[in-house]
Every structure is written in structure tokens, then in C-alpha cells.
Chain A
């Protein structure tokens, strides 16, 4: 079957760094996405990894290890507006459908 696991909730302090992990077991792999979703809004794209390694984009970075079925999203210099749910999604193959994790609710405290 298909399975994507993320922690349900995490808490971090404003200005700090937080790492959100995602592990996946899918019958195929054609890229991993991270999205941010604020309550009542649609997801917004953060990052995409298809090869092993780290992708850095401003305060956000995403890492992928295909052999371990593992990714993480790293958020630096946390701001209160970063309080949101972070969704990990895997694209299995060329039909372009995404398999979604349940999301990690990130709570930022002053």
C-alpha cells in the first residue's frame, strides 16, 4: 500500500529552527513536495525534491533520501506567520497524482 507519515503536531519558538520529518512507502517515486496550508486556505507550494540532497530556498530547505524513503523540511528564523500545517506529498508516477501525508500542524510561540 501507499503510506506517508508525518508528526501530527510540533511546537517551536519564534526565531528558532524546526525540522519536520516525512517518511514514505510508495509503489513508485517521481518527486516529493512540501506545501504550507493555513487554516481554511488552499495549500501553497514550498519545495520539490526528486534527487537526493538538500534544496535551499530562503528560510526554508528540504532534504530527500530516496534510499531511506525520507524527507525533511527545515524552517529557519521562525516567524509567527509560519504557524500553519505542512503537508508532505509524493508523486508516484507519470499520472501526476499526489499522495498526501496527513500534515503536521506547526505552532509557533513567542
Chain B
């Protein structure tokens, strides 16, 4: 079974703090993704990575950065947390698409609920 783990289930930080969210997958997947989930807005892509040291901006990259130094690990960084970054953060991984396109089935981690005070 694919396993995607995230470093914390719940996190509380203060405005201006630097925040690191870590994600690890054990299926040797090429692709890794960071989403945020807010009520009524569904899942919005922040960044994704299709290989080590490679990254692409998603729909809402502002205020975030990412790091992928190893294939199994993808980190999301909030350089200076703000209250509007309070959200559920979901990490996912996938292999390259088998029917065309860059992504096959995405496997999600349990999520990190981040509160910025």
C-alpha cells in the first residue's frame, strides 16, 4: 500500500513565524504535490514537483516555497506565516501518467491543520 505521511496533524504558529511542513512517500513516486483545502474552495494546488530539485508553481504559490532534495520528501515552507494561511494542508504523490499527462492516481497524506494566530 502507498503510504504518504505528513510531519504533523495539527500545528499552531504565530504570525511572522517560519513554518515547515514535511511530506514523505514510500512508493518511489516521481510527482509530489502540496494543496491547501478550505471550505467551499475544494483543493487548490500550491506547488508540485515532478523530480528531485524540480518544482512548478500551482494556482496559489504566493507566500509559499518548496524544497525537494530527495525523491521521497517534499517540504512546504511558509517564510512568514500570516493568518490567511490558516488552512488544511494536504500532500499527495503520484507516478507519471499512464494515459498521457504528467499525473496518475494521486495518493494523499492525512493532512496538517495549520492555525496561524
Genuine A/B complex = no
* A interface residues, Cβ below 8 angstroms from B: none
